[in-house]
């Protein structure tokens, strides 16, 4: 199986002998993580990147498998990880309970090596396929950068993560200047190519792993900058503006500049700001963009 090579499996069992037996069966095809306690399992599951599958013993001291499963399924960051319960024979009632908690499958102890491998392979196959579909669903077909759906999700996630009161979240809305005359004179094919180049240029600028550049729609892009204050956002906005200028795409029908340019609206909010939410942040950035347009385009404006 070529696609199982990179997949990671977390094996959770309070008996090291059981962990060794399962790991011995699977380590040739998968990367293996192990935990002998529920708490440790939760910690490993929350890491980035998360495991692709969890094999979870039910009867454990401290925190049992059902509890671990509930916690994983109630956390946005871990709910998508499939779980296979590993249970002793004759615990059918447990089996029903576990499936109701959202487990993907069951393996009975003592286990048959062939069945363990087959059940694991099936779940990994489904998981990797779901990951690929999710990636496609979140990508813009034309420019190959994240799309509006991903942007909406990211903005919601980052707003929810702003629990520390001194954190701020910055949002930049970017719009290509006079793109309609560009399309009208150079044609839609050239317009599409221009969008691809601008998208790729913007996409290269932010460096932190949590930053996101997305195509918002049409000739508009959005950049989400978590834990970034006004000064940081301004710095990045100027570099984004320059990165588009540096492409040097001729635009003879723009009265702003001889090349394709963009206008950028910047907004920075923190949860301390009264009555603010992700939507209010977006409206601020939109107003700043409108200001950049009305003040002459090819510039950065703030709100
Ligand atoms: P402004 O400087 O005020 O932003 O003017 P503008 O001409 O850029 O703005 P307007 O909203 O009037 O025009 C946007 C144009 O973007 C309309 C459409 O022709 C073009 N457009 C939107 N999406 C696409 C696309 O996917 N491909 C191409 N080729 N053009 C697109
Ligand atoms: Mg425009």
**pLDDT reported for residue 163:** 63
Cβ within 8 Å of residue 276, ≥6 positions away? 269, 270
What are the residue ranges in the chain where pLDDT is below 70? 1-5, 89-92, 163-165, 271, 273
First-residue to last-residue Cα distance in the chain: 53
Task: Give 257's contacts (C-beta < 8 A, 6+ positions apart).
Answer: 177, 245, 251, 298
- The predicted pLDDT at position 39 comes to 96
Nearest CA to ligand 1 atom 6: 178
- In this structure, which residues have their CB less than 5 angstroms from ion ligand 2? 175-176, 179, 219
CATH number of the structural domain spanning residue 216: 3.30.70.270
Residue 192 CA: which ligand 1 atom is closest? Answer: 29
> What is the Cα–Cα distance from 140 to 146, expressed in whole angstroms?
6
DSSP string of 123-150?
A: HHHHHHHHHHHHHHHTB-TTT-SB-HHH
For the chain, the domain total comes to 2
Q: What is the pLDDT of residues 149-198, one digit of tens each?
A: 999 999 988 887 776 667 889 999 999 999 999 999 999 999 999 999 99
What is the Cα–Cα distance from 265 to 65, expressed in whole angstroms?
49
Q: Which ligand has the minimum distance to the alpha carbon of residue 195?
A: 1
Tell me how far apart the alpha carbons of residues 233 and 139 are, in angstroms, rounded to a whole number: 24
Expressed in angstroms and rounded, the spacing between residue 263 Cα and the centre of ligand 2 is 8
Closest residue by Cα to atom 15, ligand 1, is: 180
Would you state the structure tokens that stand for residue 197, as one six-digit string?
Answer: 């180049």
Pairing label, strands 220-225, 212-217: antiparallel
Question: What pLDDT does residue 104 have?
Answer: 95
Decide the pairing of beta strands 262-269 and 300-302: parallel
**Which ligand 1 atom sits nearest the alpha carbon of residue 175?**
4
Distances (CA, A) of 285 to 63, 210, 225, 257, 270: 46, 19, 12, 23, 14
Instruction: Write out the two tokens for 130.
Output: 């779901």
- Same domain for 168 and 288, yes or no, is yes
DSSP code for 156: H
Domain boundary among 137, 160, 183: 137
Q: Are residues 158 and 118 both part of a single domain? A: no
Query: Within a domain: residue 142?
Result: no
The closest ligand to the CA of 298 turns out to be: 1
Exposure string over 185-202, b if 16+ CB within 10 A, otherwise e: ebeeeebeebbeebbebb
pLDDT score for 108: 87
The answer on 127 and 255 residing in a single domain is no
The whole-number pLDDT of residue 41 equals: 97
Q: State how far the Cα of 202 lies from the Cα of 195, in Å rounded to an integer.
A: 11
Q: Quick check: is 283 in a domain?
A: yes
Ligand 1 atom nearest to CA at 256: 2
pTM of the shown model: 0.79
pLDDT value, residue 157: 83
Query: Could you tell me if 197 and 78 lie in one domain?
Result: no
Q: Which residue has the tokens 């779901």?
A: 130
| Helix/strand/coil for 209 | coil
């Amino acid at each position: 199986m070529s696609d199982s090579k990179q997949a990671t499996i977390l094996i959770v069992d309070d008996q090291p002998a059981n962990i060794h037996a399962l790991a011995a069966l699977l380590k040739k095809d998968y990367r293996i993580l192990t935990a002998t306690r529920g708490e440790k399992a939760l910690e490993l599951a929350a890491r980035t990147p998360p495991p692709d599958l969890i094999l979870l013993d039910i009867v454990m001291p401290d925190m049992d498998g059902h509890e671990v499963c509930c916690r994983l399924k109630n956390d946005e960051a871990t709910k998508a990880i499939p779980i296979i319960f590993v249970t002793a024979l004759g615990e059918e009632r447990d089996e029903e309970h576990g499936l109701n908690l959202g487990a993907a499958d069951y393996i009975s102890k003592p286990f048959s090596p062939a069945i363990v491998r087959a059940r694991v392979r099936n779940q990994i196959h489904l998981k990797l396929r779901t990951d690929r579909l999710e990636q496609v669903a979140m990508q813009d077909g034309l420019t190959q950068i994240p799309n509006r759906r991903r942007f909406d999700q990211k903005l919601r996630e980052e707003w929810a993560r702003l629990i520390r009161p001194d954190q701020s979240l910055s949002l930049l809305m970017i719009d290509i200047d006079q793109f309609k005359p560009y399309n009208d004179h150079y044609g839609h094919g050239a317009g599409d190519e221009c969008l691809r180049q601008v998208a790729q240029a913007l996409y290269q600028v932010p460096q932190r792993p949590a930053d996101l550049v997305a195509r918002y729609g049409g000739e508009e892009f959005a950049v989400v900058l978590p834990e970034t204050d006004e000064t940081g956002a301004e710095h990045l906005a100027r570099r984004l503006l320059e990165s588009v200028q540096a492409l040097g795409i001729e635009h003879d029908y723009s009265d702003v500049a001889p090349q394709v340019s963009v206008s950028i609206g910047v907004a920075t909010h923190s949860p301390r700001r009264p009555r603010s939410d992700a939507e209010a942040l977006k409206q601020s950035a939109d107003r700043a963009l409108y200001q950049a347009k009305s003040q002459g385009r090819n510039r950065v404006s703030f709100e």
